[in-house]
Structure 1
């Protein structure tokens, strides 16, 4: 091995020694390190990543979508998606997150049967790579578990390799009460094997069997998978459910030290393999725990800002920004080389665990009741003491924001756009769910068909029908789509909206929410102010300390402010992006 790889070899070796410190392996740490470096082809070509480099700027917008969220009978869904992006979104997004596009058995893709192939009903690897040539591609690394119908699990039951020792097992007699659960199903799945009955660990469902990373062969297989994805054009890896990766009896089996070190190892190998590759951790957990996945800028490049959706929806349906402001002021700025991944809608739902400690129980109860009034469903998790606790709210965002705690009203579209104007301006990288761009409502037919609460926000559009809606002037889908794109186009031109630009919270009362952004070169200031209530509110420009020697303009309305003594009247859910010109 070349001398230039010696520091990398030592770094990989250090990761492995920490991960497997308590486990006796069949091969040495050095041998394992050599295998991983060979799999990632680092002997042939190795990048030297720049510390604290930002792989993004203010133009970065990620669209989140399933491969078949938009379909037509005449072509493969991945081709249809590519056409939709090129024809309707190429001036609005830079990246696309295609949710699991692999063969699967349940959970709309997250019970992966084969990590190395593309679901034939969607297309093939060439279709994936074609999208990757036009947009930075984000893909899921479903790393915690695989399908019970996978080749590995079939081998587990038959006692064959690879797979016979790939899965976590435990005894029903073990003390499992303290283990953190995101679901209400029993943790252990009784499975008949050639070696007798075994009880397999299933964090999520009995069709999603947990992989055992205590076995380094599992790590080896996943590094092969990562290398394949890089070769096919993937540049952003979403580490699905990674907080649960390492299991150790006597602990909560979440956020363990070995899990964090495993992420550091994956980052080291991935970014040396591909200079601009990024890791995003999907950790739907309380805010303080979520922040730890930045590490010291040596774990995730980005973390999902899971507290934002429940706090922002709560703000807009109550007309009170108190809790959102408190959270904003407590959030540390991301170091260069790291960023928050901001979103307010996704294929799952509005997670409630990230609101724990940020919203009072009474506030969460009110939020749940309001969302149920708007047609939402509730998914539950098992909590300690044999109790079930609300885990997430399943609802489309356009329906979630159709009214307030008082009920539906006429301000739904304005409230919805206000939510996105807030998210687009916050420190971090925006991720926008395709059904938010399209103002897709609750899909009760799909919910009825699947009997899965999450299906309510996983509609599949017929491309011809969608095209008609986007061409109809009075269609809410068109109106929202065009308004969203207009906001995004403005956002992408502002240095003050760089994901790492300075941010400070403003104090403008309960009904006006605001914050200040300043570009990294300090040349642009941006005052982002929002009426988050259904009442008309006044704002004195003197209250936000605009510098008198600069000229100021609202980028959304185009209004120019000649006098800093002006008092502005904000209509319900109006947004202002006031910048120096």
Structure 2
């Protein structure tokens, strides 16, 4: 054990040397490394770290939800959520509960107190109860906290814990290169006991950014990580981590120190709990996003942010040109890493990850179509001062209610087609609770908050949604039934393991397909979707299926007896043709 700890301390010291190079901190990095080991209680929990280990399988599906997405009178929302999951989502083995802490804005992402559960949601006991049955994913809101936090109050007072936690700059500093997804002023003037300070705010003036050049901030977050592990958190979502390190005069995004902090957190977490996972939330262009894998020593998983806009574009245009081109360019994730695939979440559909992948005209058509289906568009200010669409805010079920030609009758089929593609792709699927329930745009909440993202953050009344799900003719019941069927099929196929082999098929622009093969090479699945509103013929002979094996479409259950036949795929129909 002593040798393991010594090696760990040496590794952490090297990482801290990289992070704080050129910065005068009040202790030796070796001393800081020892303190981090103590905070994480690694001497008590130290586990053998197997390099390049995959702590996931085809059975892993993560459901994304707010703690209060389902509400019942006189019951803590987390208690209601747990009951609802047990009743309706038994096909799901993981849950991402979005920030469940006291907060002041941004639906939880302006955290007031990281160590407490929002009393309006429940308690740590409720969190641990959910974690006892499923893998629990929680947010580490690491870039910023609420301006109403005790830490920021102490910053204003100039004393106490947090008084030196926040990053400040000067209005006359060169901040022209800073990349951020908001149009509000970057600096927040704040009167403090030490005079007027200008606090860096990447997102809003209620979300004040931390200064990680102060090691106390790092120590604070390592303390938070240990508490979350103790509560049963198994997956850490590093929110907005790309903006973590700031340097005046730079873009202050994706800096080398940020990557080193991610590497250090992975080192600490995997030594404390070997199967815990880090997922980086970096809503940035695809090539930048991929760098957060490092050499299988940074994020275990990265959000596949380019998938949502490309897949929606494919289904509304009836052409898979851009989706196929992107898929062919994506490197297979090496062992120890994987993709986190999603097509809907609590946020909107980001457009920056489509930059360089979709033509400007394609993006304009996509934006116009989403507006036609009732969506809202959020913009950012570019380096030249131009207003540019940054995010499309719309419920996925509404986003897929038609094509560029307008709404049609294929909405449900198109919606299910999107998920049949996502569920089969290399990586771990993340499914938003409102996609499982077929929730529509919430215009009432949008009007009440005036925040575009509210359109896709509906809160269901427990009795209302259970009544809808009991009515087999309701749209919501149909969505859940079909989604459950797809999920159950996926979790039974070893060829859908997140790191199983994947190759893109070339079947024209209206048929999107790829081939998955299990790592033991025993199972092959050809995943082919008609992404158009017309019947399309699929010549089985083009798949070169092995004639000595029996092939079956897993979704329909139909056996393919003639390998020379042609299958007529209905609009938005998907087949998963498997040999076992």
Tell me the TM-score range normalised by the shorter chain.
over 0.9
Tell me the residue number matched to 2:74.
74
Q: What is the CA-CA distance between 1:354 and the residue it aligns to?
A: 0.1
Q: Within 2, Cα distance between the matches of 1:75 and 1:158?
A: 39
Tell me the residue number matched to 2:60.
60
Q: Within 2, Cα distance between the matches of 1:547 and 1:44?
A: 53
Tell me the residue number matched to 1:450.
449
What is the 5 A alignment of 1:307-386?
A: 307-386=306-385
Q: Within 1, Cα distance between the matches of 2:414 and 2:304?
A: 21
- SS of alignment partner, residue 5 of structure 2: helix
- SS of alignment partner, residue 437 of structure 1: helix
Tell me the residue number matched to 1:41.
41
Deviations 1:14-44 (A, max 9, x none): 1100000120101111111111011001122
Tell me the residue number matched to 1:110.
109
Tell me the residue number matched to 1:185.
184
Deviations 1:308-332 (A, max 9, x none): 0000000000000000000000000
Q: What is the CA-CA distance between 1:438 and the residue it aligns to?
A: 0.2
What is the 5 A alignment of 1:541-552?
A: 541-552=540-551
Asked if the contact 2:393–2:455 (Cα under 8 Å) also holds between the matched residues in 1, the reply is yes
- SS of alignment partner, residue 43 of structure 1: helix
Tell me the residue number matched to 1:121.
120
- SS of alignment partner, residue 224 of structure 1: helix
Q: Within 2, Cα distance between the matches of 1:74 and 1:199?
A: 44
Asked if the contact 2:176–2:249 (Cα under 8 Å) also holds between the matched residues in 1, the reply is no
- SS of alignment partner, residue 134 of structure 1: coil
Tell me the residue number matched to 1:468.
467
The farther-off stretch of 121-130 and 44-53 is 44-53
Q: Does 1:425 align with 2:424?
A: yes
Deviations 1:393-423 (A, max 9, x none): 0000000000000000000000000000000
Q: What is the CA-CA distance between 1:45 and the residue it aligns to?
A: 2.6
Q: Does 1:157 align with 2:183?
A: no
Q: Within 2, Cα distance between the matches of 1:4 and 1:135?
A: 31
- SS of alignment partner, residue 300 of structure 1: coil
Q: Within 2, Cα distance between the matches of 1:52 and 1:568?
A: 41
Tell me the residue number matched to 1:524.
523
Kindly tell me the number of residue pairs found equivalent between the two proteins.
580
Q: Within 2, Cα distance between the matches of 1:222 and 1:72?
A: 34
Tell me the residue number matched to 1:412.
411
Deviations 1:254-287 (A, max 9, x none): 0000000000000000110111110000000000
TM value normalised by structure 1: 0.99
Tell me the residue number matched to 2:513.
514
Asked if the contact 2:173–2:249 (Cα under 8 Å) also holds between the matched residues in 1, the reply is no
Q: What is the CA-CA distance between 1:382 and the residue it aligns to?
A: 1.7
- SS of alignment partner, residue 198 of structure 1: strand
- SS of alignment partner, residue 44 of structure 1: helix
Tell me the residue number matched to 1:490.
489
Q: Does 1:229 align with 2:228?
A: yes
- SS of alignment partner, residue 130 of structure 1: helix
- SS of alignment partner, residue 43 of structure 2: coil
Deviations 1:187-227 (A, max 9, x none): 00010101111100000000000000000000000000000
5+ long unaligned stretches in structure 1: none
TM value normalised by structure 2: 0.99
5+ long unaligned stretches in structure 2: none
Q: What is the CA-CA distance between 1:4 and the residue it aligns to?
A: 2.9
- SS of alignment partner, residue 477 of structure 1: helix
Tell me the residue number matched to 1:500.
499
What is the 5 A alignment of 1:85-104?
A: 85-90=85-90, 92-104=91-103
The farther-off stretch of 353-362 and 247-256 is 247-256
Q: Does 1:140 align with 2:139?
A: yes
Tell me the residue number matched to 1:9.
9
Deviating above 6 A after TM superposition, structure 1's stretches of 4 or more consecutive aligned residues are: none
